[in-house]
Amino acid sequence: MAKEEWSIADFEIGRFLGEGRYGRVYLAREKQSGYVVALKVIFKAKLEKYQSHAKIRREIEIQHGLNHSNVLRLYAWFHDETRVFLVLEYAARGELYELLSSLHRFSEKRAATYIASLAEALTYCHGKHVIHRDIKPENLLLDIEGRLKIADFGSAVKSISKRQTMCGTTDYLAPEVVENKEHDHAVDNWTVGILCYEFLYGIPPFSDEDEQVTFQRILNVDLKFPSKPEVSAKAKDFISKLLVKDSSKRLSIEEILTHPWIVQNADPSGKLQV
């Protein structure tokens, strides 16, 4: 994908894949190489409307600098008078959210494999001082081999100091974010615990129809494990050690990967078929 100047004429545009706040995503093929990609088309008028030029610029700068098997690649970007185009790796199996919705919940082996892959990606991102800040099933994609990929770095930040901006999605927010306190990479570790619970039980642990109730349950770490479905004691221990209000006492990424539940259940290849 190395080329100094790209244009829309370099691509054959295929089927529509999805739509976001700023534009649409299409399957595309680079004409010269035949390489299949996802082409994200962002409308400049939308960026103007939401005053999001700086946010998109930051997203591009962060994601383009990342190269890991569990992080969706941003190969290139270009623009014309009305649009910005992002040339992204194509994840053929789509959002993890869709798979979770169809299966309702995951087996412990599937859940542990996805969590281990996510932790590997976060080890890499945090090592580059990148905090994602909006990890959720909709932002996790699966490639043709069933390998997990972190996507959508729109809320991500690159920082070696603590941040205070409120961002993310309600069910997945860490207590320090809800309280609008300074936060660091540990907000991503909290979300690993939220996701693990959701993978095993089919719903985020603090979710409520009333957003204010959700916030209060997060702040109180009102964590309850239903009797059904049955989930192992080691899985519950893993979740409990991540969903800790004091961010300094949560499992580190290294501890996530060496926890007995992960070691015993995760597929080292990270590749899962449905």
Q: Which of 165, 35, 20 is nearest to 88 (CA)?
A: 35
Q: C-alpha angle with apex 154: 150 to 158, nearest 5 degrees? A: 85
Q: DSSP letters of 112-164?
A: HHHHHHHHHHHHHHHHTTEE-----GGGEEE-TT-BEEE---TT-EE-SS-B-
Query: From CA 14, how far away is CA 25, in angstroms rounded?
Result: 10
Give just the sign of the alpha carbon dihedral 27, 30, 36, 41: negative
Secondary structure (3-state) at 21: coil
List beta partners, residue 76: 87
List beta partners, residue 147: 271
Q: Which of 134, 143, 171, 184 is catalytic?
A: 134
Q: Establish whether 237 is a catalytic residue.
A: no
Asked if 206 contacts 217 with a C-beta cutoff of 8 angstroms, the reply is yes
Query: From CA 266, how far away is CA 274, in angstroms rounded?
Result: 15
Q: Which amino acids are annotated catalytic?
A: 134
